[in-house]
Amino acid sequence: MIIAAADGSALGNPGPAGWAWYVDDDRWAAGGWKHSTNNVGELTAVLELFRATAHLDDELLVQCDSQYVINSVTKWMPGWKRKGWRKADGKPVMNVEILKEIDAELVGRRYRFEWVKGHVGHPMNEAADQRARAAAEAFRSGLPVPTGPGWSGGEPTDRESDEASSVDLDDDADADGVDRDADDVPATLFDLDEAPDAWQTLTVELSTEEHERLVQRARAAGLSPEEFLRGLI
């Protein structure tokens, strides 16, 4: 089982805001915005945690001090979906786009949430809170945001960003289970008659699973799927 804390922070609420998830000092991530809310930070921390661990089969225990987040994900979301993402009074659900993304990430995952009281010295909650607040303060001060090493570990980095996530891609196995390096792709696959400096259009058909793998790898590299494909080619 993976035990992780997820937290958000907003200076002013709304104001400069941050999010963070934390497993240990080698596996954590953070990010934020110049202007957002605490709830957005809390939800985004959960979303980014599920994204960062999407490649794993372990059960995920999410420690969270926001009952709004826990209730949204575990109690209210099924009813909101049935009503077209509207509440019982017919009003639109707040933060619906993030909730939809979380809903998509939950498919096939084994997880549970645990409520912990915030700001009482809970070690993992405090670690996530400190990192979320550091991101919010960085946006307020216009300083590089401490985004963390992500899931794969390594030295924490400071960069200006509105979002940060990481996926551990320690193998290059294709959908058929065969390990392939980008350099192992036959050169003839992309041989073109035109001059090398000319732009070419290449159409690639992907299955849903292959597309999801592409998106995850591109996200881990901080690139769009198109840019990631160009790098492979």
pLDDT in tens, the chain (233 residues): 999 999 999 999 899 999 999 999 999 999 999 999 999 999 999 999 999 999 999 999 999 999 999 999 999 999 999 999 999 999 999 999 999 999 999 999 999 999 999 989 999 999 999 999 999 999 999 999 999 999 985 444 444 344 433 222 233 333 333 333 333 333 333 333 433 344 455 667 776 666 767 777 666 555 667 766 766 65
- Write out the two tokens for 16: 């400069």
Residues in contact with 170: Cβ distance below 8 Å, sequence separation at least 6, in sequence order: 152
What is the structure's pLDDT at 31? 98
Q: Which of 18, 48, 129, 148 is catalytic?
A: 129
- Taking Cα atoms as reference points, which of 20, 17, 5 lies closest to residue 156? 20
CATH topology of domain 2-159: Nucleotidyltransferase; domain 5 (3.30.420)
Catalytic position from the list 7, 41, 148, 150: 7
Tell me the CB-side half-sphere exposure of residue 28, using CA atoms within 13 A. Answer: 29
Please say if 7 is a catalytic residue: yes
Say what the pLDDT of residue 225 is: 73
pLDDT of residue 106: 97
**Is 119 annotated as catalytic?**
yes
Judged by DSSP in three states, 114 sits in strand
Where in the chain do CATH 3.30.420.10 domains reside? 2-159
User: 32, 41, 48, 65: which one is catalytic?
Assistant: 65
For the question of whether the overall pTM of this predicted structure is more than 0.75, the answer is no
pLDDT of residue 207: 67
pLDDT, residue 152, reads 80
Angle between helices 38-52 and 123-141 (to 10 degrees): 110
The catalytic residue among 8, 18, 32, 150 is 8
Asked whether the beta carbons of 160 and 145 are under 8 A apart, the reply is: yes
Q: Which of 18, 32, 42, 148 is catalytic?
A: 42
65 tagged catalytic: yes
In the chain, DSSP assigns E strands to: 2-10, 15-24, 27-36, 60-64, 111-115, 145-146, 158-159
- Quick one: which of 122, 135, 101 has its CA closest to 28? 135
231 catalytically annotated: no
- Between CA 134 and CA 182 the distance in angstroms is 37
Q: Which of 57, 84, 119, 179 is catalytic?
A: 119
